Amino acid sequence: MGDSALYLIFCIVLVVILTVCIIILSRNYLKLMKANDALRESIDNLCGLNDKLRMDRHDYLNHLQIVYGLMELEEYDEMNEYLRKVYKELLKTGKAVRTSKPAINALLAAKSAESEAKGIEFVIEVKSDLKNLGIEDWELCKVLSNLIDNAAKALEDCDREEKKIGINITETPDSYIFSVENNGPEIPEEMRENIFKRGFTTKKEEGHGMGLAIVSDILGRSNGIIELRSNKDETVFTVSLGKEE
């Protein structure tokens, strides 16, 4: 084999190696960009939660002054009604900050505010601190965010007078359980097998059909499980994630 042939083979091998390196670097770059976007969203949510807590603390004195004034005037019925409203508002934030994961707490607080602005009641029940979570915080944020957004979209065209999204976070000895439910329309049986496929959507507008596919991809990488239950009264997505050993 002549020198020119060896040189040609060397060049081909070099091109192949460089091409493979470029592909690997491109994939890693895309992963980093996605992670960066998720982290930026988490930071924004944390800033929002911090601002909300600061405003709540600032309002405590005003609330106490009003309650004291109602007591002085012996307006006890009005005082009880006022305290009920204040307690309900403070309870929303309090339930959202029960986990040991600031990013999750901030996400729940942000989604609660978004839902309330749309006239959707947002109920959070947290019975776990998520200390041994076996998935990156920002990845779980993407899962919960997409499930909550999906629930909100389901309620957009719903004709129910009272619209509701419920979040329940619990745990077993081996797993963390996250359920996201809404009282929107039932998902037809024939759609349930395809609902996690990329691009599948019941909406006509562009931009739908990605959220649940993203959830499925993340859970597939994290050995998570998602289950769907839907009837005329409610639709519930339940996610199970193993604990970190």
- What does 25-69 look like in DSSP terms, one character per residue? HHHHHHHHHHHHHHHHHHHHHHHHHHHHHHHHHHHHHHHHHHHHH
Both tokens of 66, joined, read 């009003």
Tell me the C-alpha distance between 96 and 110, whole Å. Answer: 9
pLDDT, tens digit (0-9, with 9 covering 90-100), for 45-63: 566 656 665 666 656 667 7
pLDDT, tens digit (0-9, with 9 covering 90-100), for 126-143: 888 898 888 888 889 889
Lowest mean pLDDT of 43-57, 81-95, 171-185, name the range. Answer: 43-57
Say yes or no to pLDDT of 147 above 70: yes
Question: Mutual orientation of helices 137-156 and 211-221 as an angle, nearest 10°?
Answer: 150
Q: If residue 189 lies in a helix (H) or strand (E), which one and from where to where?
A: none
Using pLDDT thresholds of 50, 70 and 90, give the confidence band for residue 201.
low
The per-residue pLDDT for 48 is 64
Instruction: List domains and CATH numbers for the chain.
Output: 3-242 (3.30.565.10)
Say yes or no to pLDDT of 86 above 60: yes
Using pLDDT thresholds of 50, 70 and 90, give the confidence band for residue 240.
very high
Say yes or no to pLDDT of 168 above 90: yes
Tell me the C-alpha distance between 183 and 181, whole Å. Answer: 7
> Which pTM value belongs to this model?
0.65
Question: Mutual orientation of helices 76-96 and 102-117 as an angle, nearest 10°?
Answer: 130
Nearest in space to 106 (alpha carbons), one of 161, 171, 153, 39: 39
How far does Cα 109 stand from its chain's mean position? 10
Say yes or no to pLDDT of 178 above 90: yes
The per-residue pLDDT for 148 is 94
Using pLDDT thresholds of 50, 70 and 90, give the confidence band for residue 174.
very high
- Please classify residue 61 by burial: count the beta carbons closer than 10 Å to its beta carbon, then call 0-12 exposed, 13-18 middle and 19+ buried: exposed
